[in-house]
Structure 1
């Protein structure tokens, strides 16, 4: 029962974050596709002594995610001081796809179910848009 409650809370928090933090790009002057991409930051906490296992599971998941439409890139980061702190830096072409179809893929749903075995709970999720690009 507790596992179902954790999974339900995980899903509800993700959906709420997606709804509350959602944005609509107002930059109509840029034709550069990369500036219209959405960046999603997801901060996870692995259970004690399960950091390496969690990373391994993320790698398996991301091998499937990268085949999805509108996927651009994902960077998997691990805190060098504490391997139970995991950050995903994701770039997608379409936030609407991310918040609907991506969230309902079989591989992501299975990951969310299995994650109760190695994560402490749902991630901290935030969405970001490009405001300015500075290059050398």
Structure 2
């Protein structure tokens, strides 16, 4: 069953560019994983250092056992303590419906 992770980040002042650069490397690699569905990174319009990542995978156990262990995630995980003001806020959701505009389907 697909699973979606909503992850909120509170980035330390002056670390936003480094945060995005490291995360972009992870997101670029993730798109080639066979169990990956989608990811969307959001920025808080009122505070550029607050971000939310929405990512959906095919299987939660695969994420735990395989995806989190991928070598392309090592630098990202090792840097989080230097990039964030506190722990990530991670919640897990199960999608029940997905929609997109009719224009994006053509």
Work out whether the TM-score is over 0.5. Answer: yes
Q: Aligned equivalents of 2:100 and 2:39: distance in 1?
A: 21
Q: Aligned equivalents of 1:86 and 1:135: distance in 2?
A: 22
Give the match for residue 8 of structure 1: none
- 1:38 touches 1:95 (CA, 8 Å); kept in 2? yes
Give the match for residue 103 of structure 1: 68
Q: Runs of 5+ in structure 2 lacking a partner?
A: 102-106
Q: How far off is 1:114 after superposition?
A: 2.0
Q: TM-score, normalised by structure 2?
A: 0.81
Q: Runs of 5+ in structure 1 lacking a partner?
A: 1-35
Q: TM-score, normalised by structure 1?
A: 0.65
- From the two aligned structures, give the one with the greater strand fraction: 2
Deviating above 6 A after TM superposition, structure 1's stretches of 4 or more consecutive aligned residues are none
RMSD, aligned CA = 2.1
Q: How far off is 1:38 after superposition?
A: 0.9
- From the two aligned structures, give the one with the greater helix fraction: 1
Give the match for residue 125 of structure 1: 90
Q: Aligned equivalents of 1:51 and 1:116: distance in 2?
A: 13
- 1:51 touches 1:85 (CA, 8 Å); kept in 2? no
Q: Is 2:81 the counterpart of 1:113?
A: no
Name which one, 1 or 2, has greater alpha-carbon Rg. 1
